[in-house]
């Protein structure tokens, strides 16, 4: 069964200042220009349809959130939903997160990085394409501020275990710290659509948090 078609986006919606294409971003990161303020900044890599951003940002109005989604149509959908719900502390970027972490985000700046249910790239010859690779993880450590956190969840035990080993090998992030599973308060009270589907099927979710050591 193929994926459902994405909902149509109202062409009258003004997504200026909410939706960005990575190739069109200014050369130098400027959080104040994006959000009109400087606040603790959290970044989600692989935002999908945006459930995490849409549920978390309104509950944390003192923080700003950036979602990076390689599929531009999904990134634009997120921006349209943010606009419709008048969520003012979210921006959506369509593009590859890796070069943004390599050169765009400044060092010691991010409050948190969120990576939920990334593509496992099942075949061994494809695993180099996994987002949690050595280069990306080193850059996560670089851009996190002291005590900033990396949140990583997956439903693939092999991906979870090998990623934890790699994090320990190439970074000095403290962890993994325990993340307790909580019962949802309503049918959409999940981090992502993927978590919702897997938990409804009774499948395990592997959760971890890592923290950058204070200087």
Catalytic residues: 119
Burial label, 152 (beta-carbon count in 10 A; 0-12, 13-18, 19+) = buried
The DSSP-derived string for 144-191 is EEEEEEEEEEES-HHHHHHHHHHHHHH---EEEEP------SSTT-SS
Which residues is 206 bridged to in the sheet?
Answer: 154
CA gap 195, 95 in Å, rounded: 23
* C-alpha Rg value of the chain to the nearest Å: 17
CA gap 149, 114 in Å, rounded: 8
């Amino acid at each position: 069964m193929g994926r459902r078609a994405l909902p149509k986006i109202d062409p009258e919606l003004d997504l200026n200042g909410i939706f960005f294409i990575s190739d069109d971003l200014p050369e130098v990161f400027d959080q104040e220009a994006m959000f009109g303020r400087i606040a603790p900044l959290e970044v989600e890599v692989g935002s999908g349809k945006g459930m995490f951003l849409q549920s978390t940002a309104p509950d944390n109005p003192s923080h700003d959130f950036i979602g990076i989604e390689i599929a531009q149509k999904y990134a634009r959908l997120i921006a349209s939903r943010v606009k419709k719900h008048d969520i003012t502390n979210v921006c959506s970027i369509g593009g590859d997160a890796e070069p943004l972490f390599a050169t765009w985000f400044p060092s010691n700046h991010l409050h948190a990085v969120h990576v939920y249910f990334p593509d496992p790239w099942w075949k061994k010859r494809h695993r180099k394409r996994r987002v949690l690779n050595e280069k990306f993880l080193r850059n996560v450590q670089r851009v996190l501020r002291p005590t900033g956190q990396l949140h990583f969840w997956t439903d693939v035990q092999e991906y979870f275990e090998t990623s934890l080993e790699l994090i320990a090998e190439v970074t000095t992030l403290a962890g993994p710290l325990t993340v307790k599973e909580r019962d949802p308060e309503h049918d959409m009270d999940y981090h992502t659509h993927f978590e919702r589907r897997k938990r409804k099927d009774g499948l395990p979710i592997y959760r971890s948090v890592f923290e950058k050591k204070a200087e």
